[in-house]
Structure 1
Amino acid sequence: MKSVESYFKILGILICLGFILSGSTNVLAQLGVFGVILLTIGIPHGAIDHLTSQPRQTRKSFVKFLIVYLGLIILYLGLWFSAPKLAVLLFLAFSAYHFGQTHYLNRSINLGWKEPLLFVSRGFFLLSVILFGSFDTTLQILSPILSIAFLEPYQFYVMLSFLGLTILVQFTSKISFSRSDLLDLLVLPFLLYFSPLFISFAVYFGFWHSLPSMITEYDYLSRFPQFRGTKKFITQLLPFSLISIVGIALILFLGINTLEMGELTLLFFVLISLISFPHVIYMDSFFKKSAKTDPYST
């Protein structure tokens, strides 16, 4: 499965290079690539949190999962209504942690208080590269809620600070720098920075985060006979993937006649944040659990 991840990362690099070298500003092409990656990898990777949290599901445990999951979504939705600026900052923070965590999936680390700092610094570095690389688009999307124009003169220093921090924490934690680290820190940032926003986010979210997470989910659930095999795994992904996709599409469709493009884009990311909030919490627990050798430990 590691080779699958490598092939898709090569594909991601080629996609970025294609847009960079061609100088393409075709929004439809960008949205097309973004949509395909999101629908096939991005959303599905978060569609089996109920199984990764409790593979031996009972009706009672499933109902409990749904209540907690929906409760977290409603709680975060309330924050979007009551304190949208705080909601944006929280979204960036837990996304940075979650994305950064994915870079260390195949390493046995136990750093105590340094561990969240390691994840957050790696995630914020690459997120800042994506957001600053298309700063005008980022400003347009966030403008209804949050103004970050004041950061423009300091964007290089922000990115450099997060880069220095993630290198420092990893070095002082005595975690060796692999070839993947060199790719992530020396090559990927340039590709993401010079690619259009939707392309850089799709490539990073899809091939550097969602796919490695999905492979970890697949490997873990393969320990259980009832989920073993690609066909069974895909079957488990479908129900909640379809519910999420249809729900998001319906809400966006209802707003298409009353909202500007920037507002629609913001609404889309708000919806993504709502399903991401409980997902990040459950996946954090899953990643820590998946390294256990006993498949029936939950």
Structure 2
Amino acid sequence: MSKYSSISIVVSFFGLWIDSFFSHQVQIIIGFLLIFSFGILHGANDLLLIENIKEKKDPIPFFKIVSYYALVVLGGALLFYLLPWLVLVLFLIVSAYHFGEQQWQSLNQKASKRFSVLFQFIYGATILFLLFAFHLHEVQKIIFQITKISINTLHIITALKIIVAILFISGIYLYLKFDTLRKLLLTETLYLLIFIIIFKSSSLIWGFALYFVLWHSIPSIIDQTKFLYGNYSFELFITYCKSALLYWGISILGISVLYLVFKQEQLFNALFFSFLAAITFPHAIVITKMFSDKDKA
């Protein structure tokens, strides 16, 4: 277990303790502040990462990357209105793989590519559906608001059982085949138990914020900093933040404008969701390429 993971465990349980002092509304506000700070920040250096990936020969000009994100947002909003359920499904699939890849990036050096992708996706999906399972009715309400489709909560529980079964069988396979992964498997199992405690003991937004910031975003920033600068330190972390500041500011400005203009209209749901998808989809691809490039080094 790394030093940072130990800190994350302590901070996670501290977060569960202090949430008892906050009202549900305050938890939502603080949770979103955390998500919009470190959560958005960890995906704000994609352009710099692309420029440092060996497979990418020519850097992408600033105006092109901004235009690309703008087109994805507008295209996502349109697709969201036409097929909102499809965008939601794609968003969950990409997010699940992205979360699992961050936790199990070392698996790429051990198992086959296909198995690694499957296991990383299943692990990430387990995290998401554990969160959903402890907040069934709230998740059901959000899905209906987005897609106008009423999901039976039993379907979420059934999906979780299937996913956990696949994860368990895959984990047994890894445990028996790779001696070097046994310690990591036990460690990640412990983390899943911690996630269960977090999700069960907190509200939907607060639980997601604790996981997303402490267990995904900050570890991702650490990995990105090591990739960009060859090492990690507090000074390099500040350097990372400075280089990401402009793109982070654009993202926050975009979300703020959408909220101010469309906060009382149904259109905001589509625009806000497509904006998050616009950040998540390209970011997940860049991080996958970063890990692949690092494995080749």
The answer, yes or no, to whether TM exceeds 0.5 is yes
Q: Is 1:79 paired with 2:79? A: yes
Letter in 1 for 2:260: F
Q: Is 1:283 paired with 2:284? A: no
Q: Which residue of 2 aligns with 1:99?
A: 99
User: In the alignment, is the contact (CA less than 8 A) between 2:77 and 2:271 conserved in 1?
Assistant: no
Q: Is 1:196 paired with 2:169? A: no
User: In the alignment, is the contact (CA less than 8 A) between 1:133 and 1:195 conserved in 2?
Assistant: no
Q: Is 1:248 paired with 2:255? A: yes
Q: Which residue of 2 aligns with 1:166?
A: 167
74-83 vs 275-284, which moves further: 74-83
Distance 1:65 1:187 in 2: 38
Q: Figure out how many residues of one structure are paired with residues of the other and give that number.
A: 282
Letter in 2 for 1:190: I
Calculate percent identity across the aligned residue pairs: 22
TM-aligned CA deviation for residue 171 of structure 1: 2.6
TM-aligned CA deviation for residue 70 of structure 1: 4.9
10-19 vs 120-129, which moves further: 10-19
The superposition leaves residues 81-101 of structure 1 with CA deviations (integer Å, 9 ceiling, x where unpaired) of 321111111111111111111
Q: Which residue of 2 aligns with 1:230?
A: 237
Letter in 2 for 1:210: S
TM-aligned CA deviation for residue 166 of structure 1: 1.6
TM-aligned CA deviation for residue 245 of structure 1: 0.7
The superposition leaves residues 231-254 of structure 1 with CA deviations (integer Å, 9 ceiling, x where unpaired) of 322211211011001111110111
112-121 vs 170-179, which moves further: 170-179
Letter in 1 for 2:123: R
Which of 9, 28, 35 is the equivalent residue of 1:38? Answer: 35
Distance 1:230 1:251 in 2: 30
The superposition leaves residues 209-256 of structure 1 with CA deviations (integer Å, 9 ceiling, x where unpaired) of 1111111001111129xxx82332221121101100111111011122
Q: Which residue of 2 aligns with 1:296?
A: none
The superposition leaves residues 22-81 of structure 1 with CA deviations (integer Å, 9 ceiling, x where unpaired) of 4x7823221232123213310000001111121389985335555555555454444223
TM-score of the superposed pair, with normalisation by structure 1: 0.82
SS of 1:43's partner is helix
Equivalence map 1:55-74=2 (5 Å) = 55=52, 61-63=60-62, 65-66=65-66, 70-74=70-74
TM-aligned CA deviation for residue 172 of structure 1: 1.3
Higher helix share: 2
Q: Is 1:16 paired with 2:23? A: no
User: In the alignment, is the contact (CA less than 8 A) between 2:24 and 2:203 conserved in 1?
Assistant: no
User: In the alignment, is the contact (CA less than 8 A) between 1:16 and 1:192 conserved in 2?
Assistant: no
Letter in 2 for 1:279: H
CA gap of 1:59–1:246, structure 2 versus 1, over 3 A, is: farther
TM-score of the superposed pair, with normalisation by structure 2: 0.83
4+ runs of 1 displaced by more than 6 Å?
Answer: 56-59
User: In the alignment, is the contact (CA less than 8 A) between 1:97 and 1:120 conserved in 2?
Assistant: yes
Gaps of 5+ in 2: none
